[in-house]
Structures are given as C-alpha cells and as structure tokens.
Amino acid sequence: MTGVTDAARPSESYYHLHLVSDSTGETLISVGRAAAAQYNVKPIEHIYPLVRTHKQLDKVIQAIDEYPGIVLYTLTEPELRNRLKTYCQENGVPVLSVLAPVVRLFQAYLGGVPEPRVGGQHQLDGDYFRRIDAMNFTVMHDDGQHVDGLEGADVVLLGISRSSKTPTSIYLANRGIKTANIPLVPGLPVPSGLSELKRPLIVGLLASAERVVEIRRNRLLGLNAAQSVDAYTDRQSVAEEIAFSRRLCAKNGWPMIDVTRRSIEETAAAIIGLLQEHRRKLSESSGA
C-alpha cells in the first residue's frame, strides 16, 4: 500500500473512521474504539453494517471518497473484500481487515481452510438462548424485585443508589450471566436469607461519596426535581450509606468493587473473574 494522501490525513482535532461489516459491526466497533482510545484525536465514526451487495458497497466507497480516513472491515465475500481493499490502496486510504490476522493464526494452528460464515458469531444456538434467558432473569430481578428467586442467580449485586448496579447487571446478562441487584437503602433491612445464599456470587459495588453525590444531583436535574440538600445528595449522609455497605459486605465476607473510576465493562470484567473463582470453589466443595 502506498503512503496516505493529504485528504486521508487527520485534522488537528478529528479524523474519519469507517467501519465496514457484512454483519452487525459489533466486532469492528469494539476494536476501532479500543484503538482510537489510545489517541487524543477523536474519530468521527461511519458505521456500515450488513454490507452484502455491490450496491451497498457503492455507498460505502462514495462515503470514503467524500470523507477519507481509516477503513476497518470484516467482509466475508471475496469480491466485496477485494474491491474495497483495492479502492483504498489505489487512493492512499489506510485499510485493514480486522479478522484476517486472527484467522491466519487459527489456520496456522488448526490447519485446513476456514469456511467463512457471515455473522457466524450470531447464531441461534444454545449460547444465544442462554443470553436471552439471562436477560429476562436480570430484568425481572432488577432493583430488588422478586428476591424470593435469588438462589437462581449467578451474581447478586448490592449497592446504594447510583452505584451502577443496573447497567452492570444488564452488561453481565448480555454475557449470559443471570444477575440480580439489590439496593441498600438507609433504614431498610436487606432481604432475609441473603447471607444464606449458596449458588450466587454476591458482590458489593462502592463509589466515592463525591462521585455518588455528583451522579445523584445530575439524576435529579434530569428528572427536573428540585435540588434540595437532603439526605439523598448530602455528602455526609452518602458517606454513611457507603460505610454501611462496607460493613455489611465485610461482615458477610462478600467481595467489594470500587466503581468510582471504572467503566461498566471494567466492573463487569472484575465480577466475571470473581465468578470464575467462586464457581471453582463451589465445584471443589461439591466434589469433596
């Protein structure tokens, strides 16, 4: 491939990022954003999912011609793939097949020739229906609902208001993990029998008082609620809520995760690591 043309070079503040896929584009979006996060220059994303015909590719090429930038693609059809690659190379536009290096590695190890399947990771198989089941369970057990069914959970999250319980639960459910979450409310007891649960991993989510107060105030603004310095947004009251949740988790030996500076994805990754260890211990104890 030749050097990048002046038109394809980024400005001082942004650049164009074209993500071309014959499936949903989730893989490309994740990879593109992970790479883009390493730089201060912000990408303007152009996402093209379900590109499976030459007519659809025509529109993609027209957009790349109008807004040159980096092109990442996952195209299974050889003609479409080669056409996009050739166009970019001839016009000095940086282009990369995201999956090609990975597939070559698999091929070198496994041998044989891969059988390309469009959207092969999105099959209606057992894993898919497991995720749907987990999502249904999580929605039904959000914010302290149906506490009588907690033994069926894989994970139970505890935390005060605005500690990212619900978005973390939904993210975990999308990974096929049945997740319930229970709010810790001042003056209200936790569900009876919580400490007797055996199967689920119970995790406390914590955040700094400053962070919780900030989120709660923004929440009230979003609801057009009056901003009053009551217990909900008072820093001292919030600090006492956090201290209570710490004592509760410490008393019961439940792990705690500080989400103050963590993204939802990072929090979920930490929980998945704890869940794997929890399941290993359960397996060892049941086999003893």
pLDDT score, position 128: 80
CATH number at residue 210: 3.40.50
* Whether residue 218 sits in one domain with residue 105: no
173 falls within a domain = yes
Question: Do 167 and 253 sit in the same domain of this protein?
Answer: yes
> Which residue, 50, 78, 110, sits at the end of a domain?
110
Q: Do 52 and 131 fall within a single domain?
A: no
Note whether 102 and 200 are same-domain residues: no
In this predicted structure, what is the pLDDT of residue 118? 62
In this structure, the answer to whether residues 96 and 153 fall within a common structural domain is no
Give the model's pLDDT for residue 1.
41
60 is a domain residue = yes
For CA atoms 283, 284, 285, 288, the dihedral sign is positive
Overall number of domains in the chain: 2
If one counts every other C-beta atom within 10 angstroms of the C-beta of residue 240, the result is 15
The reply to whether 200 and 271 lie within a common domain is yes
> Which positions make up the binding site?
159-166
- Of 58, 81, 110, the residue that ends a domain is 110
Same domain, 95 and 218: no
Residue 274 lies in a domain: yes
Phi-psi region of 199 (alpha: psi -120 to 50; beta: other; left: phi over 0): alpha
For the chain (288 residues), the mean pLDDT of every run of 10, in chain order, is 57 88 90 93 94 96 96 94 97 95 89 66 68 94 93 97 96 95 92 92 97 92 66 92 96 97 95 96 82
Q: Which of 1, 36, 37 is nearest to 19 (CA)?
A: 36
**Which pLDDT belongs to residue 49?**
94
The alpha helices in 96-231, defined as continuous H runs, are: 100-110, 126-140, 165-174, 209-222
In-domain check, residue 119? no
Residue 14: inside a domain, yes or no?
yes
Residues 70, 137 within the same domain: no
- Residue 1 maps to a domain: no
Residue 77 and residue 153 in one domain? no
d(CA 88, CA 219) in angstroms, rounded, equals 46
Binding-site residue numbers for ADP are 159-166
Q: Is residue 79 domain-shared with residue 205, that is, in the same domain? A: no
Which domain covers residue 136, as residue numbers? Answer: 126-287
Strands 42-48 and 69-74: unpaired
Q: What is the CATH number of the domain that holds 25?
A: 3.40.50.2300
**Has residue 55 been placed in a domain?**
yes
- Is 259 within a domain? yes
**Same domain (yes/no): 131, 105:** no
Whether the model pTM is above 0.75: no
Same domain for 201 and 76, yes or no, is no
Residue with tokens 């217990």, as numbered in its chain: 231
